[in-house]
A and B are shown apart, each in its own frame.
Chain A
């Protein structure tokens, strides 16, 4: 057993229950910790109240119960504590307009659900997290 680094935690913002379940299952088997929200406002609330235990990455769907992905980005970028958390957008709608806006606001990646396997997304997450992460599967 190698010395494991801190387990990655991801905040998942996805308003479809079935998809939430699939993502959670994958994270479980990939040893990634997760916290899920379907409401953008509730997620922001949670983040603001947990400055000491912020997630390592945010998985953001574009269409949420209450906010759009864009509004969410605006909100967290306003807050100094939250602005540096890397965000990946995983949505089923990727018009050039949306993609460009989100990336210019600081999103690291914009991925189409329909074109990406869960495994691919997890690989991307690890790439973004850099070399200081290993998993125990």
Chain B
């Protein structure tokens, strides 16, 4: 029964009782007493129906307010006050659920926090124990993190590093200590391109001494933007030493080989020209074989020496303005006899207004010589070889094409490696050191050019190489090729 009804009932009962009393009692004082009693009864009823429940609710509410969310209100009536009690119970239940939920979340967060702290401790331990220097810079290039090994390798302390710009500490140098240009600084490159950059260069320690390093700068991408760079670098002094020793060894061994080789060649020459007595046909053939093999060995020793010279970085580069077309024509003249012998057709063509280019003619001659010798060797008799030189933007591109045996696709990536010879031609033409293209690539690289190849097995091959119009910078050194 709803409150208004209840209260109406009480009031009407009261009025009824009063009326009944008034009907039966005529005495004024008794009448008054009676009305007072009725009023009192009404008051009692109201208190019981309205105030007590509200007070009970209030009491429980106070307990709830003090934090005890488990307390429920005992609801007995179905009127508005009873509804209030039910509603308050619901509120409390929901609050309780919410708090429980928050408590669970908080516990999860705490657990996660512990996990993270453990993971960080592990990472810190790993970073501290890496033998390489590890540094992180933000997208402005400010150093935000480094590991202990960085301090050891560079000699800078923690205070020296945090907050500094990378180019105050991690600037890449060449092996003489000169600062490399911006497009050869791995950190600059990684910051601007968003690509990983690996290179070999030198760093300077705090005390100014220089040491060689292998550096990798990896960008941290945040969506499409570079958020920062992680730099890992390693002291490669030992590796460089080993490399230098290996190069020196090749050089020494090759030089030593030259003496007995010269003896073999001179003695076979004397045999063949009859100095020791005229040879019969068969003897001549046998000795000719020795001579051919020793010629091959001679070529091999020459190539090995050239390679060790290039690898040691001691080659002189002496650029001068050169007309590439004239250079090639000179090489072709030297190869005339071979070309005629193989009945091959060689065509040379070029752009009409090719400028002279500042390159070392001795080195680039080697390149043309090698590419043309290969074209002649690996093309069957009667074949066609073309040389085409053109200008494209700021580069001069040279092309040497043949319609010979071609190079199998799977051999293409290994073509410029030392001693690599294509599987298909090794069976046909056993003569070849596998060093020619390695040397060619080394020369092109040091001339700031690029070399690439297109080929189809059985159809032919085209080698392309570019040389920048800006030319090759001079380099002082101690030796030249073929000396």
Contact = CB atoms under 8 A, between A and B. Distances in A.
* A joins B in a complex: yes
B273 interface: yes
A29 B255 CA distance: 29
Contacts of B483: 93-96, 99, 112
Nearest to A92: B258
A23 B261 CA distance: 14
Interface in B257-277: 258-263, 265-267, 269-270, 273, 275-276
Given A16-B263, A19-B263, A96 B273 contact: no
A95 B266 contact: no
Given A92-B258, A96-B483, A119-B273, A22 B263 contact: yes
Interface in A26-58: 26, 28-29
A19 B262 CA distance: 8
Interface residues of A, number: 22
A25 B478 CA distance: 36
A92 B255 contact: yes
Contacts of B275: 25-26, 28-29
A96 B316 contact: yes
Nearest to A117: B269
A118 B266 contact: yes
Given A92-B262, A94-B483, A114 B270 contact: no
A96 B480 contact: yes
Interface string A58-72: 000000000000000
Interface in B288-317: 298, 301-302, 316
A97 interface: yes
A117 B291 CA distance: 12
Contact of B261 (A93, A99, A114, A117): A114
A95 B269 contact: no
Contacts of B276: 25
Contact of A93 (B255, B265, B301): B255
A97 B273 CA distance: 35
B265 A117 contact: yes
Nearest to A17: B263
Contacts of A96: 316, 479-480, 483
Interface in B364-397: none
B262 A119 contact: no
Contacts of A118: 266, 269-270
Nearest to A30: B275
A95 B270 contact: no
A112 B265 CA distance: 13
Contacts of B261: 114
Contacts of A25: 270, 275-276
B269 A119 contact: yes
B266 A22 contact: yes
> Which of B255, B265, B316 has the most C-beta atoms of chain A within 10 angstroms of its own C-beta?
B265
A97 B316 CA distance: 11
Contacts of A94: 483
